[in-house]
Amino acid sequence: METTILVTGGAGFIGSNFILHWMAQEKTGVVNLDKLTYAGNLHNLQSISAEQPYQFVRGDICDRDAVRELFARCRPQAVVHFAAESHVDRSIHGPDDFVRTNVNGTFALLEEARAYWAGLSASEQERFRFLHISTDEVFGSLGADDPPFCEITQYSPNSPYSASKAGADHLVRAYHHTYGLPTLTTNCSNNYGPFQFPEKLIPLVILNARNGKPLPVYGDGQNVRDWLFVEDHCRAIRTVLSRGKNGETYNIGGWSEKRNIEIVETICSLLDEMCPNDPVVPHRQLITFVKDRPGHDRRYAMDARKIERELGWKPQETFESGIRKTIQWYLQNDPWVKEVTAGSYRQWIATQYS
Ligand code: NAD
Ligand code: DAU
């Protein structure tokens, strides 16, 4: 078995941040299997040099033959599985792709990983890991005074997206329990940072504010999310991969609960300072309350004490420092922004916010 990891969905937001982080820290090679849906963007990985042990393979995790061939050719010591349909609003408009990729795709990957793992030597089997990246949304919605989600909180998914991720989590659990496949699962809260596709709240608000467009806040803006800077998530994944206990799940979060309206107001204040010549200043004039997301979960919060206690990980970035870095990144990467906001992006925005 080579010292290679197989990353799925590595051209997406977190996957590409993870590959860049991994290449900067580890000598191990990376094979990135990505279908390049609307959310996948190879420009995110442009800074990887030709000398680095990195390979991109365009393919679908649902394609069992392609996945089998890839396992045989790359002989990975680990799989880090990010590939998914990830946007809740899109899952409400069209759940099919979510069930296909998140449930059937994870199943296909597990089946091929199991067959590959069965053919390894005992020491290679011992070393192999299948790390599944999941979300806090599988736990459902919290009331204002409820304690945060912990690893044994009952699953209670509310959207087609979270239900499909919950289905995938259960399959991963079953493959460990039934077949002994060495798995790890991480459930993380909302990420933000460089390369996030501007259908998600933070990049959408940054870009709309710069362009003098309305900043759509769903419902009363009081929904709460627990925000984590993406690099902290990447460090957590690397930590779990190297030291996580076979078969365990780990919650990852930023200890940073914020109401959506606070997020939008913070971005507006920072942009007032950083971009005083934008078309509409103060930017908060653009805040527009719009129709709520159907089934909108009220509050998420993560109890991340297990990963801190057992593996020594905790977030390094505060929301205040992370959001400043994130805004700066979007201001400095106009070509990236222009490229991703062309074509089908416009169609999505027109459908969602009409
Ligand atoms: P993303 O939508 O930005 O990227 C998903 C990537 O998967 C894209 O590159 C896409 O091309 C690829 N992909 C989709 N379907 C595929 C298929 N069938 N075969 C191969 N590749 C396919 O997603 P993200 O925000 O980077 O999230 C990555 C993972 O982390 C997901 O599993 C998501 O559920 C989970 N997660 C995300 C967050 C968050 O805040 N973004 C938080 C917790 C967990
Ligand atoms: O909690 C982890 C999850 O975080 C991940 O599993 C998902 O993949 C990721 O997309 C994210 O889901 P959310 O639905 O929480 O993220 P989003 O950025 O879409 O929305 C964040 C909050 O902001 C949510 O309460 C809905 C609200 N919102 C979102 C958009 C796009 C608005 O008020 N207006 C908007 O235009």
Contacts of 301 (CB under 8 A, 6+ apart): 136, 142, 148, 149, 189, 224, 226, 253, 257
Tokens of 238: 């690397």
Q: Indicate the number of domains in the chain.
A: 1
CA 246 to ligand 2 centroid distance, Å = 31
Residues 187-215: pLDDT tens digits?
999 999 999 999 999 999 999 999 999 99
pLDDT at residue 237, rounded to an integer: 98
**Above 60 in pLDDT, residue 1?**
no
Instruction: Classify residue 236: in a domain, yes or no.
Output: yes
Contacts of 124 (CB under 8 A, 6+ apart): 1, 77
Instruction: Classify residue 346: in a domain, yes or no.
Output: yes
Instruction: Classify residue 63: in a domain, yes or no.
Output: yes
Instruction: Classify residue 70: in a domain, yes or no.
Output: yes
Q: Is the peptide bond before 282 cis (omega within 30 degrees of 0)?
A: yes
**pTM of this prediction?**
0.98
Cα dist from 256 to 68, 220, 227, 340, whole Å: 41, 20, 5, 28
Residues 303-315: pLDDT tens digits?
999 999 999 999 9
Pick the catalytic residue: 85, 136, 231, 317?
A: 136
What average pLDDT does this structure show over 138-152? 98
Q: Is 136 a catalytic residue?
A: yes
> Measured between alpha carbons, how far is 79 from 132 in angstroms, rounded to an integer?
8
Q: Is 161 a catalytic residue?
A: yes
Instruction: Say if CB 206 and CB 330 are below 8 A apart.
Output: yes
Domain that holds residue 61: 4-193+229-255+299-316+342-353
Ligand 1 atom with minimal separation from the 200 CA = 41
Distance of CA 342 to the CA centre of its chain: 22
What average pLDDT does this structure show over 106-119? 98
Which region holds residue 81: left if phi is over 0, alpha if psi is between -120 and 50, else beta? beta
* Ligand sitting nearest the alpha carbon of 87: 2
Cα dist from 269 to 77, 224, 279, 284, whole Å: 46, 20, 15, 8
Cα dist from 25 to 52, 63, 85, 117, 312, whole Å: 12, 31, 28, 26, 18
CA 171 to ligand 1 centroid distance, Å = 18
**Positive/negative CA dihedral, 139, 144, 147, 148:** positive
CATH of the domain at 245: 3.40.50.720
Instruction: Classify residue 149: in a domain, yes or no.
Output: yes
Instruction: Classify residue 74: in a domain, yes or no.
Output: yes
What are the residues facing 221 on neighbouring strands?
Answer: none
Query: ∠ at Cα 124 (121, 130), nearest 5°?
Result: 125
Instruction: Classify residue 249: in a domain, yes or no.
Output: yes
Residues 261-293: pLDDT tens digits?
999 999 999 999 999 999 999 999 999 999 999
Owner of token pair 């990144």: 329
Pick the catalytic residue: 54, 60, 116, 161?
A: 161
Phi, psi of 288 (to 5 degrees): -135, 120
pLDDT at residue 354, rounded to an integer: 82
According to DSSP, residue 299 is labeled B
Instruction: Classify residue 87: in a domain, yes or no.
Output: yes
Q: In percent, how much of the chain has pLDDT > 90?
A: 95
Instruction: Say if CB 104 and CB 84 are below 8 A apart.
Output: no
Per residue, what are the HEC states of 51-87?
Answer: CCCEEEEECCCCCHHHHHHHHHHHCCCEEEECCCCCC
